[in-house]
Structure 1
């Protein structure tokens, strides 16, 4: 998890829900924030894919993956790492 992905996750969820970032960051779980439901999760997922040029695999489309800013940030970091091609010496 990085500050950049934490900030993106918090800002994205706050924007989708039309709340301030503090509300998102202070929530024990994002499911405690009014309006955070399956439709909000799909919107967050689409924004992650569009912003980072990655695809969230179906196995990751589960509530736990989208339950908090750190969980979303960890998903983004993993997807970005998985999408980075390995450089091998010739």
Structure 2
């Protein structure tokens, strides 16, 4: 097996076997690079899907937070009503005792 030219330029190589070996190595590298691109594309697709799912979840969480906020406001209103009712009842009890 002969070595490749030190220049790294295939035009400087005049041995058919060496050129053919070079071509096979380049084809192998091209195949590996194509597989890397395919994997990268799949990773991008998965990342896009994950982003969409996270965006949907974030939207749902925002809606849930808004509903919980409304519920808290209603509970606070109810507590205020109970406080008013109990304080009014307390005042009436004190008046009855006097």
TM-score past 0.5 threshold: no
TM-score where L is the length of structure 2: 0.27
Structure number with the bigger relative contact order (C-alpha 8 A, sep ≥ 6) is 1
Report which of the two structures shows the higher radius of gyration computed on alpha carbons: 2
